[in-house]
Every structure is written in C-alpha cells, then in structure tokens.
C-alpha cells in the first residue's frame, strides 16, 4: 500500500506589523526575521495612531507570506513573536513594542472568538491599506485608500 499525504495548501497571506515603543525599527526587523515563508515586505510608513489613547506614532509595514500554516498556527506564532518583543497588553489599542495582525489569507474566511479573516477593520485603516497596496494593488483600490482613516507617510525601507 502506497499512500501519500496530500500536500499542505500554501496561501498568499498578508500581515500588518507595527511598533510605537522602544527601538521601533529593531522590533519590526526582528519580527520579519522570525516569520517563515516571507515573499515581500512593504516600505515602512510612519502612521498616526487610529483609535485608542494618546500615544506616539507607529512604524508600520505589511509582510506578504506564501505559507502552509493554518490561520490559528500563524496566530500563535504572531503572539510568540510579540511576546519575544516584550509586548504588554495593558490597554486596548494602547502603545506597544510590536503588533502583528493577520490581515488577509487567499481563499480563507473565518470568524471565531480568537480570529477573524479577513481582518474586520482592514479596509478602514490607512496604515494597513497603504503598505498593502504597495504589495498587492489588485486587493486595495485607490478609492479604498481614499476612504480609509488615518494619515501615513512613507519613510523608506527596512
């Protein structure tokens, strides 16, 4: 009997990565280096926080993966990477050393208590849409960008 397991499905996936505490560039670089299957990284954007308390500006990037990880396994990895950056969850939308969000996975829709894909507010946030448009203009229209909230300034590459 010759049975082979089916190949895992690889999905084009986008993560938003941001930091507004400490050495923001170092936290972004370390997060990206910790991710598997990285295909591309957007330019860096300096962004004014949207929602939450008064706080310093963020540096944000979007990372494109081609991964066979399940959504929940990828979420677990994101949480471990945040913990390695000593992220503290004291206040919703408060300042943080590192924030990783799964924004979109090709062909994947889910809505559970732990995770919603696509991210429920991704089309509302310019700090997600501007860098994502750099990597996937077919997913983010100019109108999406105009209608989104926030202000962003492209600052260069990591």
DSSP code of residue 140? S
Task: Establish whether 133 is a catalytic residue.
Answer: no
Catalytic residue among 24, 99, 125, 134: 99
Catalytic residue among 11, 24, 101, 125: 101
Catalytic residue among 10, 37, 68, 96: 96
Phi-psi region of 77 (alpha: psi -120 to 50; beta: other; left: phi over 0): alpha
Task: Establish whether 101 is a catalytic residue.
Answer: yes
Strand duo 116-117 + 11-19: pairing? unpaired
Contact 45, 131 (CB under 8 A): yes
Question: Tokens 């962004």 correspond to what residue?
Answer: 47
Contact 61, 43 (CB under 8 A): yes
Catalytic residue among 23, 26, 29, 87: 87
Tokens of residue 108, six digits: 């994947």
Strand duo 44-47 + 116-117: pairing? unpaired
Contact 34, 69 (CB under 8 A): no
DSSP code of residue 91? S
Task: Establish whether 56 is a catalytic residue.
Answer: no
Task: Establish whether 144 is a catalytic residue.
Answer: no
Q: Which residues are catalytic?
A: 87, 96, 99, 101
């Amino acid at each position: 009997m010759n049975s082979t397991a089916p190949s895992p499905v690889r999905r084009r996936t986008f993560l938003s990565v941001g930091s507004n505490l400490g050495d923001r560039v170092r936290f972004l670089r370390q997060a990206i280096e910790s991710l598997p299957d990285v295909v591309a990284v957007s330019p860096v954007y300096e962004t004014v926080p949207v929602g939450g308390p008064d706080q310093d500006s963020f540096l944000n990037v979007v990372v494109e993966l081609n991964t066979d990880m399940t959504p929940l396994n990828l979420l677990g990895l994101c949480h471990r990477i945040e913990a390695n950056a000593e992220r503290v969850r004291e206040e919703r939308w408060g300042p943080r050393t590192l924030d990783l969000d799964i924004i979109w996975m090709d062909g994947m829709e889910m809505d559970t208590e732990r995770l919603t894909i696509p991210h429920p507010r991704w089309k509302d946030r310019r700090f997600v849409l501007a860098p994502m448009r750099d990597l996937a203009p077919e997913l983010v229209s100019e109108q999406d960008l105009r209608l989104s909230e926030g202000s962003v300034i492209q600052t260069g590459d990591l």
